[in-house]
Structure 1
Amino acid sequence: MGSHSGTYTSPPQRAVFKGLLFDFDGTLGDSTDAVVKHWHLIGKEIGVDPNVILQTSHGRRSIDVLKILSPEKANWEYIKHMEGLLPKNYGADVVEIPGARDLLDAVVTADVPWAIVTSGTTPLVTGWLDVLKLPIPEHLVVAEDVENGKPDPECYLMGKEKLGLSDKQGEVLVLEDSPAGIAAGKAAGCKVLAVVTSHTVEQVLAAKPDWIVKDLKSVKVVRHSGAGVELEILDALRMD
């Protein structure tokens, strides 16, 4: 993961939030293998080296990638169709991030307000949730809902609004993996917990999240009350 001097040894910390906003890819599920295969096919179709696409596509909307590389394909009809094929064609290539299922089950059981805020389209995220048999939230914010994708904060501001939590600074926790998503969450006035699943520790650190953990096994629901949901964060990165 690079030359950072930190270790995942911070003592347990507790924090209370009114609601939780989860990114999907890299945070709840890892569809890297599927996405690589997908962009190789798209790259051939549009005549662009797929490795060039993959260098910049993670955490970003397909429409924003294609606006640069193949503007004629940058429309929602095409993108929703091609993203909808990923879970159908590559369902065996997606895996859940460690701890994601237990955390979501605890969130649902405790009736914590939550939503998924993703750079993917509706067919993509609902397809992956169905493949993995993970809980589907009442609220989704997807690529086609916003004018500007991450790192713009629009998506997380919309997520807060859907939960009815758009006022107080830091009352909502964003769970993210990509620097673009971390930046979006911070700009939206949220606290951000980052998982080191898709980027180096240095890249995650540079985005300045509030906590960094290896995966979601480090996040536990303690209780949910009128004050909000109390989370315990274990084994966060501590810089020496």
Structure 2
Amino acid sequence: MDYTAPPFEVTFKALLFDMDGTIIDSTAAVVKHWHTIGKEIGVDPEVILQTSHGRRSIDMLKILSPEKANWEYVRNMEGLLPKLHGGDAVEIPGARSLLDSLIAARARWTIVTSGSEPLVNGWLSVLKLPQPSNLVTAESVANGKPDPACYSLGRERLGLPPSDSDQILVLEDSPAGIRSGKAAGCKVLGLVTSHSAEQVRAAEPDWIVRDLQSVSLVRVDEKAGTVTLRFADALTPVAVNGSEST
């Protein structure tokens, strides 16, 4: 795959970030976690890991172990993950600098994740990453990704109407999350951090980059309430549905 598309700029009213695979990489921790849970519920951990990324634990448990599919169990088990395996998670390259620039610019952004609130807050605390005020977690919606409800709720919590959906950027790594963002009417940037480029492309995001090192804040228009981002080293060929510059 060729990550050499000429740099281009696109303007948005808000950014909605997935968590795992987009802001942090907790793959090693999640593998250990699901091996423990798999043994507990009597399911081969490898079977769980094949389909769990980007999906809520409660949705996995509804299929694999219905008696465990309740929020008390999920919040408890996910809350333990950062405590037991905190050293196994790292930042996605470019994530911290992008978040810091958005905060400094007072841009609209939040996290929309399939993880529970104890899991997300645990990771943000362990890695000392910024905590958004409008967090959307697994408990926030009835149906998880690829259902669009979570990203629609993220837009709503940032104070934007449905008519602005196509001016919102979703940043995602999993096919389920990419499809969720697209179904919510948003533009989607796919990251090749947890899946192959072919798998990311098959989910049909608007743009594809390797990680967040390719994304930078260019300018802020406070009057219009927008931020303009620069995408560099995108996957080519790539459909660009916003404005371009080289």
Tell me if structure 2 keeps the 8 A contact 1:165–1:172.
no
State the SS of the aligned residue for 2:179. Answer: helix
2:217 to 202, 205, 221: 221
Q: CA deviation at 1:170?
A: 1.2
Partners of 1:169 and 1:41 lie apart in 2 by 39
Partners of 2:149 and 2:81 lie apart in 1 by 26
Partner in structure 2 of residue 170 of structure 1: 166
Once the two structures are aligned, what percentage of the paired residues are identical?
A: 68
Matches within 5 A, 1:87-98: 87-98=82-93
Q: CA deviation at 1:88?
A: 0.4
Q: Deviations over 1:65-101 (max 9, x none)?
A: 0000000000000000000000100000000000001
Matches within 5 A, 1:132-143: 132-143=127-138
Q: Deviations over 1:105-145 (max 9, x none)?
A: 00100000111000000000010011111111111000011
Matched, 1:114 2:109: yes
Q: CA deviation at 1:168?
A: 2.3
Partner in structure 2 of residue 3 of structure 1: none
Matched, 1:237 2:235: yes
Q: CA deviation at 1:177?
A: 0.2
**Gaps spanning 5+ residues in structure 2: where?**
239-246
Partners of 1:16 and 1:239 lie apart in 2 by 21
Q: CA deviation at 1:47?
A: 0.5
Partners of 1:105 and 1:58 lie apart in 2 by 26
State the AA in 1 paired with 2:197.
V
2:177 to 156, 181, 186: 181
Number of aligned positions between the proteins: 235
Matched, 1:202 2:198: yes
Partners of 1:38 and 1:73 lie apart in 2 by 15
Partners of 1:179 and 1:33 lie apart in 2 by 20
Partners of 1:219 and 1:187 lie apart in 2 by 23
| Root-mean-square deviation over aligned CA pairs | 0.9
TM-score of the superposition, structure 2-length normalised? Answer: 0.94
2:19 to 18, 21, 24: 24
Tell me if structure 2 keeps the 8 A contact 1:29–1:97.
yes
Q: CA deviation at 1:165?
A: 1.4
Partner in structure 1 of residue 73 of structure 2: 78
1:11 to 6, 21, 30: 6
Partners of 2:116 and 2:71 lie apart in 1 by 9
Matched, 1:48 2:76: no
**Gaps spanning 5+ residues in structure 1: where?**
1-5
State the AA in 2 paired with 1:64.
D
TM-score of the superposition, structure 1-length normalised? Answer: 0.96
Q: CA deviation at 1:239?
A: 2.6
